[in-house]
Structure 1
Amino acid sequence: MNAPLHPLPNAETTAELPGLTLLIAAPRGFCAGVDRAIEIVERAIEKYGAPVYVRHEIVHNRYVVEALKAKGAVFVEELDDVPDDAPVVFSAHGVPKSVPAEAERRKLVYVDATCPLVSKVHRQAERQLEKGRHILFIGHDGHPEVIGTMGQVPPGTMTLVETLEDARTVTPPAGAQLAYLTQTTLSVDDTAEITAELERRFPDIAGPKAEDICYATSNRQAAVKQIAPGSDLVLVIGAPNSSNSVRLVEVAERCGTPARLIQRAADIDPAWLEGVGSIGLTAGASAPEELVREVVDQLKQWRQVEEHTLVSTVENMIFKLPRQLTD
């Protein structure tokens, strides 16, 4: 599973290597929802035996997906790819209501690994619909979480708002009472601008009682704001299709620090380190700690690294597993 590390660029001994200050963000990496989703797949394999099918990537991280494949998980895009006699797990991002309905119609054994914080947004959408409100949903078109959330309500009852410009121009149905909800993995700062504009245009719009952006997303963005000002470059470990990881790059850049998204150590170009005396390092919520240490080990092949962990908050959230896997 380990990617090959770059060799030393020359024959210098460690003592002769130039120094590098490494500021490591905390919290970083796995959140409670990701921990839960991975454990759900592992326990399903233990309970039902391999193979266990997983609809979509359980989380957006190739390293995690490959590790689960090695244990007996088979990843597919749709339920049509799941045999009638095989168990299936739904990803942490959530699914439209039509997916479990189809699984029940086919009498499939299924386990829902949707993050509880995403499920909370699903319930909020249903409640706003019951109150007769049209929902403006702030999120990124095509993201699995957005597809899953918009699939909780009938077509036409929710309008997607992606940008501040969308918030300025969106035209909800005439005379409709309005509510807004958000994807859980958005930029805290960008979302605040969008919601402020919606509230300016529609003073009676109903917002969620608590922020929809999840604690892990908010905490990791706050941690990047702590390491970025003292860094010449920020490295974010995460997948290109991981919304929360891409947001971390944007947060660093908004702080005025260049940032790069990498999937693991092998992606680092030694040329990036030219003229760099300090690097900030973090990982998206789907990236395991092994990849963080892999990056640190790679940097130590090129530089004398002095590590500092900057703790912005301590997380202790734990989510329960589905009852069918604990009975």
Structure 2
Amino acid sequence: MTQRSFARRRLIGAAAAVGGAALLAPLGGTAAAAQPTGSPWPAGFPLPDGFRPEGITIGSEPYAYVGSIAHGAVLRVSLATGRGRIVVPGLGPDHPVIGLKTDSRGRLFLCGGVSREIRIADVRTGRITKTFTVGTDRTMVNDVILTPGAAWFTDSFHPQLYRLALGRDGEPGDEVTTLPLSGDWAQGPALTANGITPTPDGRALLVVNSFVNGGGLMRVDPDTGVARAVDLGPTRLPNGDGLLLLGRTLHAVQNRQNAIDVLELDDAGTRGTAITRITAPDRFRVPTTAAVWQDRIYLPNARFDVAQPTPETDYDVVSVERVRDAGA
């Protein structure tokens, strides 16, 4: 795609995103259109044709980093302008990027999907500084979260997490350890574990399990791997994907449902109550993960409903207004 066509699609995509309204559906109530924030920044932006996004992360500056399933590149996009450029070159279709997170020192932690790779990249140079190969046959390194002492990665096809220790300044260690999951965890016949985030009190991990009890969350002890099902009442997450925790408010993306389920958690992450569902019928096209900047949540449209993506398939990132709670 030429720079001219990319710029043209950027303007068209931004205009369409501003024009579309997200719907907040309170429990027992009627969906109401979310009010625009009045920001001059675009509410969304296109990605290069054929990019095939899945993960998104935003750090301490207003730039989104989006990974490519198609070729493993990472695109950095200014939230203020919607303009972007590749900052980490792709290694090819056998080395995709699924989930990713950035830290405050210019590192990107990349999930390599079925390549079984965990990669660390320097956004300033574009270099891959470390690569780890984990798991066994059929491993899929799906999502990642950074905690004060470690980076944690999910494996969608095996009941285990991967832990990469982080030093005092966040520098990654030289070894990845495997944490087997037990307790209430049960592995489904297909993709099971997906998004991951700490509990509000930071003492445990929450992991999407798309199989147990029709889909939900598991609270995992990071020392033992013992998992306990989180009580979400009647809420189910059969298509649960990325998780975004803001205070005690959890935004759980349900990709093929084209929705974000918003739940209020207790501090320990043992219980959650659904407070609303966000939909955007004119803009959501199978969103997968979420990242926040100020009052907006940004989501890439992965378009997993397209059976055979081509180099001409169009993709974009859209945003909706965040839902706040007293602890956010």
Q: TM-score, normalised by structure 2?
A: 0.32
Q: TM-score, normalised by structure 1?
A: 0.32
Structure with a larger share of its residues in strand: 2
Of structures 1 and 2, the one with the larger relative CO (CA 8 A, separation 6+) is 1
**Greater CA radius of gyration, 1 or 2?**
1
Structure with a larger share of its residues in helix: 1
